[in-house]
Amino acid sequence: MGVETKLCRVDDFDLDKHEMLKQLKSDYELISDSLNNNGFASLKSEMGIYIQSRTKGAGHGSKSRAFYARPICLNKILGLL
């Protein structure tokens, strides 16, 4: 049988009206500019407050990267902070 789930709350989140939109854009631009101007090796997981660039997939040494939301970003969206 399936697992029983419970809906606890429904809420809206409009990023256009949220103060974190400016920081998300800044994080994206920081990472994108670093990649475009300094190459792949310049990308560090420490870059960005709400989003970061990390290697995709399992294992170290991967050549592909993706944008990931940091826990602080998800906590704000979910209203946990």
For residue 14 the two structure tokens come to 């409009």
Please, what is the average pLDDT of the chain?
86
Residue 17 binned pLDDT confidence (cut-offs 50, 70, 90): confident
Q: Is the pLDDT of residue 19 over 90?
A: no
Q: In this predicted structure, what is the pLDDT of residue 57?
A: 72
Q: Where are the domains of the chain?
A: 16-77
Phi/psi of residue 39, nearest 5 degrees: 90, 175
